[in-house]
Structure 1
């Protein structure tokens, strides 16, 4: 008999201890409160800008300075493309310029002699004008070839593929020695910071609004973000949305992160976590009654954060108007 009564004595002692500890505790009156309904989805880390670095001229890739994951600055050289034909054109223009320079020297010498002869009346003014025109024509040809040479030099300089902005190299679809065409993407650069791209089922589209606060992360590390943009187009039964998050790790673009979205609100009964305790595998709260405090068995639900404190939803066992001892001094 003594062995059978021992658990009862221990339970009674525990109850009396709880009652003594709660003698001066605070209390709250139970009333249904709004609880946010959360939808768990996955967000994908994306760069704000995803810009291809394109070749401005065609040719062969003779230098490739970056690879995936490299950080680059705006205007940094990523690769070098060369077209051998441009070098041949430069050589041809240089040869023509040398020939024209020689013809110009001869034409200027003839013009100088003509100026001396016209003073003595040996040649006519018409002949002198012809000599001057020859000098002017050759000067014009030399200037034209010089402009052509500058154009080709610019084409050679445009063989440098430059980064369109500061960021990280996401992909390099070409390799050293590849033949590329003008306008072909040599690398893709992601910049402008990172954000989370969400794909939300369309049934929750009406429950979301720009500016909503969402939760990011799993157990033990929960951060908040702001729903910055909700896209109007529904694709495959899902709505795209962008979330601004401070301190998001930009090293792995495309990484999936667990996210909880507020998709509605319902009324529920909640109590502070400190008001609950367990005994014999059951959960209890202390309720004030007319004849004093009394234990009541409850079935708790999920956790609810309020002002930085943990509250628990009570599924059964409490009703509106009950006064619960919270356990707070």
Structure 2
């Protein structure tokens, strides 16, 4: 688990989660990244991985974006600095990366999305931007400087002609230099700009789902009211030492503030795999028809306690309901 140092886990859940950023120095002491830069580049050559190459800097504002799969010539022709490689969903394929998720299981696992890993040369960045989801940024190797801001986090504050979402006005309020083992938590709608300080900078991003009202309405096959199209689900107050698989009633009530959704519908919604994960699971089943029952990293699982103690738990796997044996 994460070493919170000066605060407790419960204090983080009460005061920081979905509220304000937090730098946790040496959250994972003596951390050594399981995947080095050359190995990450190797993954970006494969079709299975969603990968991107971004070049540019906030000084030049000359940004470019290319999507993979790449070839060795693509990397050989990169400039000496100001570029970043991003590879999405690495936890689906690399067990050593998937096992790191357990360090963050004080947040329910059904809220988790995926692990993205970046490598950046000196000056490498993806520009200042904000997201609608929560993320823990674990520094894997090298050093990175992060600048954060709560100002102007609006959709009309993006460069018009950039190939990716980069804020046109970014006013830093906090600056942190991070080293291996440091974790920076960033809640939704907090702008962040990370710049590599050396040629050995890898960062592991543990991202969590942002459930939009439109997604939830689409799932129950009802039209989303126009006034709710930009509304997102907000977590309840999580409790320390909770089972990461359980969906508490408080979470369902939070969803019901947005729409009329039953506990079954919500549980199936949060455990339904996305298109990429469906393909991963289908390929795995095809290639391993006789394998024993195993929870694949792309699978999504959750449980709900029944009202009567004598009733068995309801379990949800990849969008389907099951009764626990």
Normalised by the size of structure 2, how large is the TM-score? Answer: 0.20
Q: Give the greater-gyration-radius structure (CA).
A: 1
Q: Which has the higher helix share?
A: 1
